[in-house]
Structure 1
Amino acid sequence: MERWTGLEEVPENFGPSVVTIGNFDGVHRGHAVVLGAIVDRARTTGARAVAVTFDPHPAMVHRPHQAPPLICSVEERLELMAATGLDAVLLLEYTLDFARHTPEEFVQEYLVDGLGVSTVVVGRDVRFGLDNSGTLETMVSLGEKYGFEVMVVDDVGRHDESARWSSTVVRRLLLEGDVATASTLLGRHHQLRGVVVHGDARGRDLGFPTANLSQDASGIVPADGVYAGWLRRPRLLARGAQTLDAVLPAAVSIGTNPTFDGVQRRVEAYVLDRTDLELYDEEVVIELVERLRPTLRFDGMGPLVEQMHADVVRTREVLGLLTGHDTTG
């Protein structure tokens, strides 16, 4: 998949193209349906499938104090979009100047002149241009004027009776700690990606050494609690799917360690049954499968260690690993 950050990078006389526009934060299952639709349309019409997206998120520009946390980083977003089969992504810097484009100016400059659009694929609730004044009706009218077709993709899924697949719903679920339902909407487990840094070494002293993610790790950090998940090592995965120790089962703690009167919120992953791993300064990905329990304050080390053993047993069950005696003690 080609990546462009401005029209000057788009090949001259590019087109015809099938285009969609959006933020695509998280690239959830609803996004995947839209992106899949433009890929299918492009393949059947001999066009190129292109998505136009933005960085930073428009809310960061218009109302930074109310902007939502991002489900994933820009790089992860592009990787997920590439997996849908797109030919190219035009990643535009979103600024106040850019936001002043009227709907017609945006369509003419970027879609018609820049990308040689033949079909625009959008949802019924599409909004674009100055003050989000462009609607589906606007796009259809502009299509008639500039000679492109507008294809509408209806809502394609709901996780309950009231909420469709959306980044907003995914964010809410993650912040509530419901990573299992969020995974259903995303079509994959939610990920946190960051470099392993030194912590307080309390876990090692207790027999549960943890990999501590750096504070600048990407991905929404869910509600405090203990989670079952996987620790993935991209450096090893790049060598091949069968690489030893590339994907490891883990019990993940998120919170401030209230038993020790901690104040800094941390993400720590204990790889089951492993005390020999050296992960410092390595970038890892933590996939969260299910929340096991909320964060608790324990009255001393004994009850804490007993609960940690129970968390490990439960993690094995959630991850579908072979059951048996807990060998962490």
Structure 2
Amino acid sequence: MKPAIVTIGMFDGVHLGHHELVSQVVDRARSLGLRSFAVTFDPHPEQVLYPERKLTYLSTADERRLLMQECGIDNVWVCPFTIELARLEPEEFVRLIVERQPMAELWVGADFALGRGRKGTIAVLAEIGSKLGWGLHVVPPYMLEGQVVSSTAIRTLLAAGAVRGAADLLGRNYSVSGEIEGDELVVDPDRALPRPGLEYDAELRQDGATSELPVTVQPTPGRISLERPAPRGNGPATLTFLRRVG
């Protein structure tokens, strides 16, 4: 199998910082006549390693795959994250990926690390790359108006009800998918939602049709009240948060 330009990360939310990294990977691959390949994980490593922290996520594995492909990535591997995977030493972890897709180069963010106890730091990865015959490229943090763009920053903004601020870092409005049940949209309880108890203007998409309506995020995880009936009734739907009301 021909080697590829590879990037590894959680890519939760596929925000502007991820876009920058992925764009560089895609450009590099095309300049060398190679394919681009991204590795992401499901579930989120923190949900496996530290379940007591109750981390909420910004995007499902399928959403991440689609968003990264829209950025131009040729292939996305959603690697199942398990305790056994977390216990691998850095070189073992890398060899697992190389078995799936040989690497010409590995591109990662500046704070990236992998393997047992996050021992696979940038310095360690550079040594492994030298040993195994691939190059390492490190992309610095992406800044927007003096702020580092990160998934954590987006979760913090959502928790404060600042959906416009979250949209600025994502590069798009924040959306969630679930099932309409009566006057509620029900989503995964582990999905990150804007601050409960506040009203938001939102766009509801069902069967290709869209409509705007006010919604209120409930204190119960995964529950969003629709202030008007869903035009198509019960069933799958996607809700995009446009702005906070008031």
Paired with 1:97 and 1:265, the residues of 2 have a C-alpha distance of 30
Residue 244 of structure 2 corresponds to residue 281 of structure 1: no
Change over 3 Å in CA distance of 1:147–1:49 after alignment to 2: same
Assess if the C-alpha contact under 8 Å between 2:202 and 2:214 holds in 1: yes
Residue 130 of structure 2, aligned match among 144, 149, 156: 144
Assess if the C-alpha contact under 8 Å between 2:179 and 2:234 holds in 1: yes
Residue 243 of structure 2, aligned match among 278, 283, 290: 290
Secondary structure, counterpart of 2:23 in structure 1:
helix
Greater C-alpha radius of gyration: 1
What is the deviation of 1:216?
3.5
Q: TM-score, normalised by structure 1?
A: 0.70
Residue 232 of structure 1, aligned match among 205, 210, 218: 205
Displaced runs of 4 or more, over 3 A: 215-219, 263-266
Secondary structure, counterpart of 2:202 in structure 1:
strand
Paired with 2:159 and 2:127, the residues of 1 have a C-alpha distance of 40
Paired with 1:216 and 1:100, the residues of 2 have a C-alpha distance of 28
Instruction: Give the letter aligned to residue 141 of structure 1.
Output: E
CA deviations 1:149-184 (Å, max 9, x no partner) are 11121112235x4x4110001011101110000000
Residue 100 of structure 1, aligned match among 87, 97, 103: 87
| Structure-to-structure mapping, 1:110-189, within 5 angstroms | 110-111=97-98, 113-159=99-145, 161=146, 163-189=147-173
Change over 3 Å in CA distance of 1:286–1:40 after alignment to 2: same
Instruction: Give the letter aligned to residue 97 of structure 2.
Output: Y
What is the deviation of 1:188?
0.5
Instruction: Give the letter aligned to residue 216 of structure 1.
Output: D
CA deviations 1:262-302 (Å, max 9, x no partner) are x898412346xxx7x64222211111121113xxxxxxxxx
Q: TM-score, normalised by structure 2?
A: 0.92
Paired with 2:70 and 2:190, the residues of 1 have a C-alpha distance of 19
Tell me the equivalent position of 1:78. 65
| Structure-to-structure mapping, 1:41-52, within 5 angstroms | 41-52=28-39
Secondary structure, counterpart of 2:71 in structure 1:
coil
What is the deviation of 1:217?
7.0
Change over 3 Å in CA distance of 1:66–1:265 after alignment to 2: closer
CA deviations 1:192-233 (Å, max 9, x no partner) are 21111124xxxxxxxxxxxx2025377422112011121122
CA deviations 1:98-146 (Å, max 9, x no partner) are 11111111112313x3311001111221111111011111111111111
Paired with 1:26 and 1:41, the residues of 2 have a C-alpha distance of 23
Q: Percent identity?
A: 32
Please, what is the CA RMSD of the aligned residues?
A: 2.0
Assess if the C-alpha contact under 8 Å between 1:38 and 1:49 holds in 2: yes
Tell me the equivalent position of 1:35. 22
Please, which runs of 5 or more residues in structure 2 have no aligned partner?
Answer: none
Paired with 2:212 and 2:45, the residues of 1 have a C-alpha distance of 37
Paired with 1:46 and 1:228, the residues of 2 have a C-alpha distance of 45
